[in-house]
Amino acid sequence: MSEVLFAIPSKGRLKEDCFALLAGAGLAVAPPDERSYETTIPALPGVRIILISASEIADRLARGDFDAGITGEDVMRERMGHLDGAERRDDVQAIGTGGPLRVRRLGFGPARLVVAAPMAWVDCETMDDLREISAEIRRRQHRPLRVATKYVRLTRAFFARHLVTDYRIVLSTGATEAAPASGLADVIVDITTSGATLRDNKLAILSDGEMFASEACLFLTARSADPSPALATLRRRLAA
């Protein structure tokens, strides 16, 4: 029987929380070698842990490379381009047509994906206001509204829902919240936890600009439709 491939984030708080979650479920992960990106769960033979970035986990789960993985729902939804169905439920739910199944939210890595505009824009409180401002920018400056984000697919879906069409996405590769102050963009779409960083950068979340609340989730792929005993045990322990 083939081994179970289970991906978890390779660094940061998400990695620490994943290790703690597994240890609490009686499935402690063996410390990986210094330069290794693979390890095992001694108490659960047949499971191979793959340590990679959260965004790569989403990509490779979507391709079906792994049986299971833990990553943020925000990166999975961006990978699948699927905005709907973001209600807070703990049952199995598909992320997009034919996408990985979200088995359970895990209670760590909370964040919200939001639209934020400069506080100086006192008349910009809603997405309707933003649509009007984009038209004003077009009339006065002869250019589209510029939106800095790493979440291109979700931004397009959300803006279409609110009939905001005259804009250009500026792909963010660094600190998205700094884009308006630097002149790179007018508004941003980004992930936030407390909102403190947005406030520090003099940005305010639009009243209807929250796309959804995200957190770390356990995902399964089509490879796990007929789970092995090891995968069934892994899922049962983590869902308990």
Fold (topology level) of 4-110+215-239: D-Maltodextrin-Binding Protein; domain 2 (3.40.190)
Give CATH superfamily name and number for 111-213. Answer: Periplasmic binding protein-like II (3.40.190.10)
Decide: 201 and 110 in contact? Cβ < 8 Å: no
User: N- to C-terminal Cα distance for the chain?
Assistant: 26
Which single residue is written with the structure tokens 């209670």?
A: 107
- Pairwise CA distance, residues 30 & 119, whole Å: 48
Within the chain, which residue ranges are assigned CATH 3.40.190.10? 4-110+215-239, 111-213
Q: Is 224 a residue whose pLDDT tops 70?
A: no
- Pairwise CA distance, residues 16 & 221, whole Å: 23
Question: pLDDT band for position 90 (50/70/90)?
Answer: very low
Mean pLDDT, to the nearest integer, of 201-222? 93
- Pairwise CA distance, residues 8 & 143, whole Å: 42
Lowest mean pLDDT among 151-155, 199-203, 216-220: 216-220
Per-residue pLDDT tens for 103-140? Answer: 788 999 999 999 999 999 999 999 999 999 999 999 99
Question: pLDDT band for position 102 (50/70/90)?
Answer: confident
pLDDT the model gives residue 98: 58
Mean pLDDT, to the nearest integer, of 144-169? 97
In single-letter form, the type of residue at position 184 comes to L
- Give the percent of the chain with pLDDT over 90: 73
Q: How far is CA 102 from CA 77, 120, 166, in A?
A: 11, 39, 34
Lowest mean pLDDT among 74-88, 141-155, 196-210: 74-88
Q: How far is CA 82 from CA 98, 99, 206, in A?
A: 11, 10, 21
- DSSP 8-state code for residue 65: -
Q: What residue ranges in the chain does DSSP mark as E strands?
A: 4-9, 38-40, 47-52, 68-72, 93-94, 101-105, 111-118, 145-149, 167-171, 187-192, 203-214, 216-220
Is the overall model pTM greater than 0.95, yes or no? no
Mean pLDDT, to the nearest integer, of 169-193? 95
pLDDT the model gives residue 86: 43
Q: Cβ atoms within 10 A of the Cβ of 7, count?
A: 26
Instruction: Please give the mean pLDDT across all residues of the chain.
Output: 90
- DSSP 8-state code for residue 184: S
Q: Cα angle vertex 137, ends 131, 141, to 5°?
A: 165
Mean pLDDT, to the nearest integer, of 201-211? 97
Q: What dihedral angle (degrees, nearest 10) is formed by the CA atoms of 24, 27, 28, 31?
A: -150
- Pairwise CA distance, residues 42 & 12, whole Å: 23
Phi and psi angles of residue 169, each rounded to the nearest 5 degrees, phi first: -85, 130
Phi and psi angles of residue 64, each rounded to the nearest 5 degrees, phi first: 85, 20
Question: pLDDT band for position 85 (50/70/90)?
Answer: low
Over its C-alpha atoms, the chain yields an Rg (Å, rounded) of 20
